[in-house]
Amino acid sequence: MRLNGRHTAGASQLPALRVWAICLLLLSVVAMSPAPARAAPSQAAATTHVYLLRGVLNIFSLGLDTIGARLQAQGIPVTVANFVSWSSLADEAATEYRAGRIKTIVLVGHSSGATALPDMIAKLNHLGVPVKLAIGLDSVFKTKLSTGADRYINIYIGDGPGEPVRAAAGLRGKLDNVDVRGSGVGHITIDKNEAIQRRVIAEIDAAIARSRGPAVQIAEPAAAPRAARAAAATAPARN
């Protein structure tokens, strides 16, 4: 009876042992499986640098930090700094551009940081460095853009402290003034507004996509000269 009892107890334990064995096998498979890899950033994203300029006191433009974190998650290098650093940041960007480590430069500023953008663009242009895109969020002083980025977007609150950016004579590049009055955002919240942040990031993504465009093709000779050459080749020779 004892032998039968032992045999019966052992048999009753077999299903439990099988369950434990299956669990251990599954755990080992999970442990050995590689973690899902993040998609590597594109070369255009990796060679882009976005400079985000905060406004006064560094405490009213913290939405730029959120934008910067989202861009970094996409593999886009960023620098977030106070607007008073715009000149040294321009020197830094020029050095990186000449070394080939940066190919696409994007500038974003809020409040006084937006007001500083035309000065930073002018210095970069003077140093021979192009600016692909600049986005200002509610510049608080009258601003004139005399030298340009490929595109400059000024998002401002028309019935608030923000000002439209004026184009000076001979401006190169495209200037867009976007009035967001009535959208519920204020001067202190425009950089933190989810819709505005999405707009800024979408514009940056689009600029990076444009930088991956095909190289400019060398123009073929005009049709008229080509036809003239063909006519000359078939004309009878003169003695």
Tens digits of residue pLDDT in 112-128: 999 999 999 999 999 99
207-218 residue pLDDT tens: 999 987 543 332
What pLDDT does 153 receive? 97
Helical (H) or strand (E) element with 221: none
Instruction: Fill in the DSSP letter of residue 189.
Output: T
Each residue's pLDDT tens digit, 123-172: 999 999 999 999 999 998 878 898 889 999 999 999 988 889 999 888 88
Distance of CA 46 to the CA centre of its chain: 10
What is the C-alpha separation between 40 and 34, in angstroms, rounded?
16
Domain 43-211, architecture per CATH: 3-Layer(aba) Sandwich (3.40)
Write down the pLDDT at residue 135.
98
Rounded CA gap, 137 and 145, in Å?
A: 15
Among 161, 157, 163, 117, residue whose Cα is nearest residue 136: 117
Q: How many C-beta atoms lie closer than 10 Å to residue 103's C-beta?
A: 16
Tens digit of each residue's pLDDT (9 = 90 or more) over 78-104: 999 999 999 999 999 999 999 999 999
Per domain, the residue ranges of the chain are 43-211
pLDDT score at 15 = 57
Task: State residue 21's pLDDT score.
Answer: 52
State the pTM of this model: 0.73
- Residue 132: the pLDDT is 97
Q: What is the pLDDT of residue 154?
A: 96
pLDDT at 224 over 70: no
So what's the pLDDT on residue 26? Answer: 46
- CA 167 – CA 62 distance, rounded (Å): 29
